[in-house]
Structure 1
Amino acid sequence: MPLNERDRIEILMMIGVGDRMRTQQEVCRLFHEMHPDREPVSQSTRKYRELGHVRDAPRQGRPKINENVQQDVILSALENPHCTVRQVSRDLNIGKSSVSNIFKRVRLIHELAEDDFDRRTEFCEYMMDHNNQNNGFIANILFSDEATFFLNGHVNRQNTRYWSQENPHWMQEYHTQHPQKVNVWAGIVRNRIVGPYFFDENLTGA
């Protein structure tokens, strides 16, 4: 278990620094009566002998993320919405993964109207009732989706980001009139994947 400085001092007092009145085995027995783990006894005595104190060593690496750091990251995005994770990481001396996590935590989500919660609850209850009445009802549903992939090689999502708490209706224009693209449709039913199927034309509900 992790020890704080008070626990380590307690161990040293049990030993009796200087007079060696108790052995480590005796201290382990005493310490075990109050704490479940014996390993900290030897760790604390070894640290005191080697360093002369029982304080934790300063942590290495980049500073720990706190509320002030999060505010600095968000301000960087507000000042320069086109900034990259790498730029913010370098400017603020924060790990790239930490910057990315902060950006993701402040992302926008789909707005829900007041009655959306009731509608979603009703839908869940409807599906559960039908599945209870007709075993395998959900297993016979085909869940599908489609996506369009552009093949012109110009679009790189990693380099065309815009960080904002509001929808800025920002666009990145590329110099091509008719970019090559492919439409993909796939589905899942039970434990099977249907497709994927590739189409040159746009997908419709027909």
Structure 2
Amino acid sequence: MRNVRIDEQILRLFEEDGARSIRNVASLLEISIWKIWKIVRQNNKHAFHYTPVQGLQNNDFNNRVRLCRFLLHADVDDPDFLKSILWTDESKFTKEGILNLHNLHHWSSKDENPRVKRQRLFQRRFSLNVWAGVIGDRIIGPH
């Protein structure tokens, strides 16, 4: 038997906070997670993953444009210039733990992808950075 009032409560909770979890709503309404999944699917809702982005300061845009212009001119002047740059990738571990993006969602209509971003300011917190790099055809690290 379908209870329209429960269905409306489920949808209202996700509209109030698009980052709510299925388990949170099931716990609040004391119903199964499978019922929640059924209702969100029937109402064309989809869980979009967040895109982590670095928090930017006021002058960062100008600095980034200046760096891009430098790289464009340096590559034209010396085609091997980019091979002399150390390209790195990193993973950050903070005192709050590892950020697991698979557990972060934003619920929205399937027809509209909100392209949700979550700003993080890691440089303002304690963190341990593990990285590796590539320069030319050599791998350096991990460190």
TM bin, normalised by shorter chain, reads 0.3 to 0.5
The structure showing larger relative contact order (alpha-carbon pairs under 8 Å, at least 6 residues apart) is 2
Structure of larger gyration radius: 1
Greater strand fraction, Structure 1 or Structure 2: 2
TM-score of the superposed pair, with normalisation by structure 2 = 0.45
TM-score of the superposed pair, with normalisation by structure 1 = 0.34
